[in-house]
Structures are given as structure tokens and as C-alpha cells.
Amino acid sequence: MEKTIDENKQGQSLVLEQKKDNKRKLFIESYGCAMNFSDSEIVASIMANQGFNTTQNLEEADLVLVNTCSIRDKAEQTVRKRLEKYNAVKRDLNPKMKVGVLGCMAERLKTKFLEEEKIVDLVVGPDAYKDLPNLIAEVDQGREAINVILSKDETYGDISPVRLNTNGVTAFVSITRGCDNMCTFCVVPFTRGRERSRDPQSIIKEVNDLWDKGYKEITLLGQNVDSYLWYGGGLKKDFEKANDMQKATAVNFSGLLELCAKSQPKMRIRFSTSNPQDLTLDVIKTMAKFDNICNHIHLPVQSGSDKILKAMNRLHTRKEYMKLIDNIREIIPNCSISQDMIVGFPTETETDFKDTVSLMDYVKYNFGYMFTYSERPGTMAGRNMEDDVPEEIKKRRLQDIVDLQRAHSEIKTKEWLHKTVEVLIEKESKKSNTQWSGRTPQNIVCVFPKAHYNVGDFVNVKVTDCTSATLIGEAIPLVQ
């Protein structure tokens, strides 16, 4: 089965701490990547200062904001269906309701949204959330409002996000926005603009605040975290124009990781997503140096065929990727590695597909997210390449690699049998209210009897059994 980070979290509506004097009601829900969920927390923070408390009840909402995803056609269709639902609620139950669209679809479709979807009053792109107070004022006066301007320097570094639907243990911290990579299949560079990095001081401040509030794990977020570069502000692509002083004091991703690891030595640190062409040996060595940086790398490759990698504008070869995997395994032997794969990219032959299969056999990923190619309007592939792999072939190839990944996951998960792993407890297990569920540093889910432990505890667990995706074990009491 196709499984994505997106779909795990699809359509979560969010509730935040209520401010006493706030009178209006906001229903906010998010689709897509972790960055969208993180952005919704920034939006919630801005809206709380505009007199809005959140609600989970559409029927009483004064304002509905939906944070949207454009990555595949299916993601956009899901949002269109939600708009139909809002329409029905507005027509039958809640005529005062206003609807705003945020995120990548807002940026991609711009004013077309207002024309195509009569229900929509407000369209706001990912860099324009600070303009929400003005835009809401327009809507209040009965006008439609739109801001889809992409920014050179907006990182929302000065806004303290309101943590939504939080478990109080794990949190996302954005470190870069946008992407300069221009993979030919990908809409993100068009919807999220050019790449820029956030001031390390504001990142460290957020990490410290999270620790003070009891959080135990953070995930540093960006479309391409390894490309992080702070030289005093500005776009990554303008770094060449920086002065000598700025260049000498610049902070790259391994530098940032080290700063985070040192400022909170007990906080678990994760990051996502890595791009093979930018993941340096320095980063891998920094991971090895600090115990609190988790040994897991999400390293999407998309295809194992050199021909397809080139057509995708992925700036590395199959061989270079394999060398990178070898380096990770040598420097951090117990590091888990996960993938994203696309099957059925234009011109992909059976031979190309077999290269993907053999690459997966070589790496034996711990887990992965696999997709059939979805043509996106405006991208290089969308404009210049015919979507020529028939749907049945795409589906068959997807099923083949999903099955292969499950077999690999099983092999990798079994390697932990009878070993002791450190688990950070996040929540009750979905399958049993007598078990806790948490993750190991390798990002593998582990369940075990609750005993006297609590959410937020680090527990050593002896693994006694497993499925392909989950470790099952018993907590080992600490010897005093």
C-alpha cells in the first residue's frame, strides 16, 4: 500500500490553548508535509492575536483556514473535496462562515482559486501569513482578499509558534524555507520559492524554549536541510555576493546541528529532509559525535536508474548515492536509512525500474514512502516530457517496490531482536491501552507495557518480538 507522511496526518484539525477574551472561532486544518503542519502553528499564533480561538466544530466556525498541498494531483483533489464539504456546511448550517486557502495550492492557483471555487474568500501563499490581519480585515468588509507574494527573507523566525494538538514531547522546528533544487517533477520550488535559512540564534532560542516547556525531541525541518546556510540573511543563491566577514562567520548545517546538540545535550535531535547531493561527510561525522543526534537519515533517491536520475535533475549518480550509503554505514553502523521513490517517471523502462529494485536491494532501507509519478503543471517534466508510462504499469511497479520494502523492513526490524533500545514515550499504543508507544533513535516504533512509566520518559526496552514496522518489548528497570 502506498503510504506517505502526508496521508498519515491527512486533514488534522487543530486546537490550541484558548485565549479568554477571544470571541471569534477559527477552524484550521492541514494537509501535506510536516512543514505545512509547522506553518499552521505559526498561523494559529498570528490568528490568536487577532481575536480567534480555535474550534474543532466546523458548524460554529467564523473562519475556516485550510493549509493545502500540491505535491501530487491526489493531494489537490482531497482539498477540493474538503471545499465541497465546507460549502455544504455553509449552505445548510453556518451561513456566516468565511473560507481561506493557505499553502501550496494557494500559491500555485492564485486568483484562479477565487474564480474556480466560489466558497473561497481568502487566498494566502506560504510566505504571506504575516499579512493575515490585513487580509482578514478585507474579508470582514465583504471583499475577497489575496496575497501570494513569495519572499526573499521571510522565515517567521520571530514568531513563536503555538503548538497545536501536541503530545508535549516532540516538536518541529523550521530551519529553511523554499527549495532551489528544481527536481523536474517537483512543484515545491514554484510554491515555496527560493531557498533561505533562518537565523541560528532564533532556532536555538526556540529549541531552548521547547526544552523548558518539557519537550524531549525536535525535528529540524526544511525541504533540503543539508543546504542550510546562514550568513546574516538573504537567499542561499546570493551567498557568493556576501562580504568576507559574512562568509567567514557563516553557519552551515553541520554547524547548526552541533549548536543544537550542544545547547540541549539531553534533547533528541532529528532532521528532515536530506538531499543526497548536499549531505556532507561533516554532517555524518557530527551525527556520530553527539549521542543526542538521532541515528536516522531520510535520504530520498527517487530512482535507481542513472538515466532517470538525470531526467529528474537529481544532481548525483547511482554510484555516488551508493558511496554515500557506504560512508554512512561505515561512520554510523547502526544508522537507519529511509527513502522516497517515484515509479513511472516519463520514459522509465523495465530496465530502469529494475535499477530501482537493485538499488533497494543494495541499501535495504529501514522504511520508505513510495509514489507513482503525478504530472504537475508548470514543472519542467510537466512542460517538456510526456507522461508516457501507462497507469497499470505504474501501479504494478509501485506494488512491487512496496512489497520489496516490506520484506526489507522486516529484515531490518528483526536485527533489533533481543537487543536493548532507548525509547522516548510519545503516546498510548493504538492497539492497546495497557501499552506505551514511542520511537527509538533510529525512528522505529516500539511498544511495551506501561508499568509506572509516563509520556515523555526515556526508557530502555529489551526487544522480544517484532512486526515488519514495530518493535515489541519490555522495559528494563534502571539499576540505581
284 binds ligand SAH (CB under 6 A): no
> What distance, in Å, lies between the first and last C-alpha atoms of the chain?
46
Q: Which is nearer to ligand SAH, 340 or 457 (CB)?
A: 340
183 binds ligand F3S (CB under 6 A): yes
Q: Which is nearer to ligand F3S, 170 or 273 (CB)?
A: 273
Binding mask 271-310 for ligand F3S (x = CB under 6 A): ----x-----------------------------------
224 binds ligand F3S (CB under 6 A): yes
Strand partners, 452: none
Q: 172 is written with which cell numbers?
A: 518541529
Rounded to an integer, what distance in angstroms lies between the CA atom of residue 312 and that of residue 149?
Answer: 27
Rounded to an integer, what distance in angstroms lies between the CA atom of residue 158 and that of residue 160?
Answer: 6
Please report how close the Cβ of residue 70 comes to ligand F3S at its closest, in angstroms.
11
Please report how close the Cβ of residue 205 comes to ligand SAH at its closest, in angstroms.
24
Q: Which is nearer to ligand SAH, 273 or 429 (CB)?
A: 273
SS3 of residue 86 by DSSP? helix
Q: Sheet holding 268-272: strands in order across?
A: 170-174, 217-221, 268-272
344: phi > 0 → left, psi -120 to 50 → alpha, else beta; which? Answer: left
Q: Which is nearer to ligand SAH, 377 or 477 (CB)?
A: 377
> Distances in Å between the alpha carbon of 421 and those of 45, 135, 325?
37, 50, 23
Rounded to an integer, what distance in angstroms lies between the CA atom of residue 347 and that of residue 472?
Answer: 43
175 binds ligand F3S (CB under 6 A): no
Please report how close the Cβ of residue 322 comes to ligand F3S at its closest, in angstroms.
19
Please report how close the Cβ of residue 187 comes to ligand SAH at its closest, in angstroms.
7
Among residues 41, 43, 72, 261, the one that binds ligand SAH under rule CB under 6 A: 72
Query: Where does this chain touch ligand SAH (CB under 6 A) — which range of 60-68, 149-157, 180-188, 456-464?
Result: 180-188
Q: 17 is written with which cell numbers?
A: 490553548
SS3 of residue 49 by DSSP? coil
Please report how close the Cβ of residue 466 comes to ligand SAH at its closest, in angstroms.
27
Which of 150, 106, 100 has the alpha carbon at shortest distance from 127?
150
State the CB neighbour count (10 A cutoff) for residue 166: 14
Among residues 129, 371, 416, 453, the one that binds ligand SAH under rule CB under 6 A: 371
Judge contact between 368 and 405, C-beta under 8 A. Answer: yes
Among residues 33, 136, 162, 179, the one that binds ligand F3S under rule CB under 6 A: 179
What is the Cα Rg of the chain in Å? 23
Partner whose footprint covers residue 189, from ligand SAH, ligand F3S, none (CB < 5 to 8 Å by kind): ligand F3S
SS3 of residue 291 by DSSP? coil
Strand partners, 30: 12, 67
181 binds ligand F3S (CB under 6 A): yes
189 binds ligand F3S (CB under 6 A): yes
Q: Which is nearer to ligand F3S, 177 or 397 (CB)?
A: 177
302 binds ligand SAH (CB under 6 A): yes
Q: Which is nearer to ligand SAH, 33 or 65 (CB)?
A: 33
Q: 446 is written with which cell numbers?
A: 516500539
Partner whose footprint covers residue 371, from ligand SAH, ligand F3S, none (CB < 5 to 8 Å by kind): ligand SAH
SS3 of residue 465 by DSSP? strand
- Could you list the residues that contact ligand F3S (CB under 6 A)? 179, 181-183, 186, 188-189, 223-224, 275
Report the interface residues with ligand SAH, using CB under 6 A: 71-72, 185-186, 188, 223-224, 273, 300, 302, 340, 342, 371, 373-374, 376
